[in-house]
Structure 1
Amino acid sequence: MTAQNSSAAKPAILLPIAPKAVARTRFAPLQPQPVQALLPAEAVRELDAVKPGGGSSVVLQGPGDPLATMDSTVQTLCGIAARYPGVRLSLATLGIGGAAQLPVLKAAGLSGILLQVNAVDPAILEKIYAWIRPGLKTLALPEAARILAAAQRETAIAARELGVALTVVTTVYPNHNDDHLEEIARNMAALQADRMVLTPYRAEIGADIVLPDVDPAWLAEACRNCARHLPAEVARMAKGCMEQPLEVPATLPKPTADRPHAAVASSNGIDIDLHLGQTTRFLIYGPREDGLVCLRETRSAPETGVEGRWRRLAETLGDCFAILAANAGETPRQELARAGIAVIRTEDNIEGTVDVLYGGGKKGKKGRS
């Protein structure tokens, strides 16, 4: 077996669809940079923007773990598989609960998993992770590390039995697991993993613990050692599959003939500063007859607490393709997305953001969606 360089591989389309984290390494910032998880309908729309062809690869991943929110993960898989049947679908995971969930995921269209295995020895996992939450509660780290190691092994076995391609991704942490890489390779080869990807640790802004950089020459040699056991390569990505800065198509929803307008949640008519649930009146922007985009009217939102509030809002804004709000809960985002209205969470000024939606200049710095 030989080490391989991944630079020739066609980059996958990475979609952040998992909002719930199940672990945090000691080298991540306590308050990581927020990343908006896509709803199932939004993930499909992202792919509509890039129109992946047959043989393209799509990876569902963080900011959390896709296995922690199975309902939305399965919906996303089914939605993409139905729209783009020729696309290869994978997900990045720590593997907690994977053995039980892989049959459902495969039936929904999954063909591969990227399993983040940073150690096969629970004692080393304890040195790498600050906390691990295998279930609803955070367990004592020694117990949680043992559960994680066992769960990853079980997930690897299930992948082999189901014919799901298994890529093992290992982040190399100097002085923590750098002398353990070949042991990981040996164990994963015994479980018939398809390949191993080594990715070097990179320091993160705001992290309390900073490790030395990984020497590229040393990493290349470590990769050759791992390749004695299974195909191995050094990753293009800067981080492991569960810690990778997410790369999604830089697209926003666009107006259509049926939905030419955008609704804005604002208290002062200048800034997008209201939570969706607190908005009683929306500003409606859209093009005039001469094409100039401006404020066209205002519309009242359904009263708080009424039955079917978000369905009624979708009807009230039936000619809108987007809502701009400072924040919004998961339930209204999902219901409105199903109705064809994207909720964009941002705290920018109205004029600049609306200009971007209708094909104008660059958005300000505060936008989050």
Structure 2
Amino acid sequence: MTMTPDTSRHPCFNKSVSGQCGRIHLPVAPACNIQCRYCNRKYDCVNESRPGVTSGVLKPLQAAAYLDRVLEKEPRITVVGIAGPGDPFANAEATLETIRLIRERHPEMLFCVSTNGLGLPPYLDRVKDAGITHMTVTVNAVDPAVGERFYSWVRDGERTLHGREAAELLLMRQLESIRGLKERGITVKVNTILTPGYNDGHIEELAKAMASMGVDMLNVMPLHPTADTPFESVREPDKAFVEKLRKAAEKHLPQMRHCRRCRADAVGLLGNDRSGEFAGCLSECGRTEDSACGGLKAVPVATAVSAARTHAFDRPHVAVASLEGLLVNKHLGESEKFQIWTRTDNGYEMIEERPAPDIGAGPKRWYALADSLSDCRAVLVARLGETPRAIMEEQGLLPVETEGFIEEALDAVYNAVDPRALQALRPKKRKVCAAGGSGGGEGCG
């Protein structure tokens, strides 16, 4: 399929239509594969306007039904975007399925996706085939020596990288992604977070590099320091400084100057966001069973867990290793604390957080952890080594490797006839961490 990118109805790529054409961001991508030092994702927030924030998270069928309801009240929507709250290609199947469902119902829509580029390369052909015409890739540096200061970690499949190695891999994937998008005729905007003391002397070099790859537009976004992040004390650049760097970059690439730093659930015109108004609708759709989503048909998804009634276990709770409280996505040994969840008459409830034992105690650490979780029937983690696995099982605590929504994993725990059926949720190919990562208590678990 040959696409002719249409910017005439895209308010981000064409400022002149920002007062007539609106956009909607569908929050179907909660997981993220990098941790930026300026980012604090929030999944139940209506009070902030910045990337990574949303009042809820939707599944593809729910997102399609939500769009239908929004269009009844805001027919000026011309662009459907997916921009988080994590990264769309850390949630590639949900992202592409959402677009497929909506394209069937609303073929007139433009489709736009925003990504860090790390997980995009394997999906380049599918992006084109899906009808995605506009992409935004966030690139904060084209020199790993600069880039390594922006990221706490980068997760590539089963590997978690840090420092220079992480920055080098991320940049390589970003360049591969941009090159592949342009080869497929897709319009590309690059977002760059202007961070004083980090990349403010690097902006023009970045603009030159992006221009040489055929990027269509550069959006130099001033850092807005966010609480509870490593960059929270970095000063925000003033408007004059931002404009100075934009003018330098403009010698190489057109500049976007009307960015509104949209939320992951943004709705409406750029200058009149209605995400707060539609937050209740989004939450309602997020509670809707897939079978009730407007007659939409789901792509069959295999499940490996029995849905039979639960046994009455002596241990009423489940421990969860989570970065943000929505997904199971932390390694056992990297978790400084565990969320404790239980089932009530009204669903699942997180009742407390418990600290993990200190790193460095060897197997004693895992015995101490098992003891602290003695009222839990299972501990849900993204990965763990063989030593902690054996100790947990010995102590009557089932360790379960899985990734995804916490409540879906809790369904599996509480509804399985035999909780060991949950082992089927483990990734098909699991590698134990090397060099101490067998679970010696040194932190990788």
1:134 aligns to 2:207 (yes or no): no
Unpaired runs of 5+ residues, structure 2, are: 1-12, 45-53, 267-274, 293-343, 350-405, 413-445
Between the aligned partners of 2:230 and 2:214, the Cα distance in structure 1 is: 37
Residue aligned with 1:168, SS? strand
How many angstroms does 1:135 deviate by? 2.4
Q: How does 1:177-256 map to 2 (within 5 A)?
A: 177-209=199-231, 210-238=233-261, 244=263, 246-247=265-266, 248=275, 249-250=278-279, 251=281, 252-253=284-285
Given the two structures, how large is their TM-score scaled by the length of structure 1?
0.64
Between the aligned partners of 1:28 and 1:140, the Cα distance in structure 2 is: 16
1:329 aligns to 2:329 (yes or no): no
Percent sequence identity is 28
1:21 aligns to 2:32 (yes or no): yes
C-alpha deviations, 1:200-242, integer Å up to 9, x for none? 1111122343211111121122112111111112242237xxx
The answer (yes or no) to whether the contact 1:23–1:132 under 8 Å persists in 2 is yes
The answer (yes or no) to whether the contact 2:134–2:187 under 8 Å persists in 1 is yes
C-alpha deviations, 1:168-200, integer Å up to 9, x for none? 111111111111111111111100011111111
Between the aligned partners of 1:138 and 1:235, the Cα distance in structure 2 is: 35
1:38 aligns to 2:82 (yes or no): no
Between the aligned partners of 1:274 and 1:39, the Cα distance in structure 2 is: 18
Match of 2:87 among 65, 73, 82: 65
Q: How does 1:84-123 map to 2 (within 5 A)?
A: 84-123=106-145
1:47 aligns to 2:67 (yes or no): yes
Aligned to 1:275: 348
The answer (yes or no) to whether the contact 2:60–2:97 under 8 Å persists in 1 is yes
How many angstroms does 1:63 deviate by? 1.5
Residue aligned with 1:28, SS? coil
Mark the CA change 1:102 to 1:81 in structure 2 (over 3 Å): closer, same or farther: same
Q: How does 1:142-181 map to 2 (within 5 A)?
A: 142-181=164-203
Given the two structures, how large is their TM-score scaled by the length of structure 2?
0.54
Which is worse superposed, 147-156 or 4-13?
4-13
Mark the CA change 1:229 to 1:70 in structure 2 (over 3 Å): closer, same or farther: same
Between the aligned partners of 2:105 and 2:17, the Cα distance in structure 1 is: 27
Residue type at the aligned position of 1:233 = M
Mark the CA change 1:206 to 1:273 in structure 2 (over 3 Å): closer, same or farther: farther
The answer (yes or no) to whether the contact 2:223–2:237 under 8 Å persists in 1 is yes
How many angstroms does 1:19 deviate by? 1.7
C-alpha deviations, 1:54-97, integer Å up to 9, x for none? 88111112111111122211111101111110100011101113
Between the aligned partners of 1:88 and 1:237, the Cα distance in structure 2 is: 19
The answer (yes or no) to whether the contact 2:26–2:264 under 8 Å persists in 1 is no
Q: How does 1:251-262 map to 2 (within 5 A)?
A: 251=281, 252-253=284-285
Between the aligned partners of 2:240 and 2:15, the Cα distance in structure 1 is: 16
How many angstroms does 1:137 deviate by? 2.1
Residue type at the aligned position of 1:159 = L
Residue aligned with 2:221, SS? strand
How many angstroms does 1:8 deviate by? 5.6
- After the TM superposition, which parts of structure 1 deviate over 6 Å for at least 4 consecutive aligned residues? 330-333
The answer (yes or no) to whether the contact 2:29–2:95 under 8 Å persists in 1 is yes
How many angstroms does 1:12 deviate by? 2.2
How many angstroms does 1:245 deviate by? 5.4
Residue type at the aligned position of 2:253 = L
Q: How many residues of Structure 1 are paired with residues of Structure 2 in the alignment?
A: 262
The answer (yes or no) to whether the contact 1:54–1:86 under 8 Å persists in 2 is no
Residue type at the aligned position of 2:245 = A
Residue aligned with 1:96, SS? coil
The answer (yes or no) to whether the contact 2:87–2:115 under 8 Å persists in 1 is yes
Between the aligned partners of 1:102 and 1:16, the Cα distance in structure 2 is: 21
The answer (yes or no) to whether the contact 2:152–2:162 under 8 Å persists in 1 is no
The answer (yes or no) to whether the contact 2:208–2:252 under 8 Å persists in 1 is yes
Residue type at the aligned position of 2:251 = R
Residue aligned with 1:133, SS? strand
Between the aligned partners of 1:7 and 1:330, the Cα distance in structure 2 is: 46
The answer (yes or no) to whether the contact 1:113–1:167 under 8 Å persists in 2 is yes
Between the aligned partners of 2:261 and 2:162, the Cα distance in structure 1 is: 30
Residue aligned with 1:16, SS? coil
The answer (yes or no) to whether the contact 1:113–1:164 under 8 Å persists in 2 is yes
The answer (yes or no) to whether the contact 1:13–1:58 under 8 Å persists in 2 is yes
Mark the CA change 1:146 to 1:110 in structure 2 (over 3 Å): closer, same or farther: same
The answer (yes or no) to whether the contact 1:55–1:86 under 8 Å persists in 2 is no
Residue type at the aligned position of 1:113 = M
Between the aligned partners of 1:58 and 1:6, the Cα distance in structure 2 is: 17
Mark the CA change 1:105 to 1:98 in structure 2 (over 3 Å): closer, same or farther: same
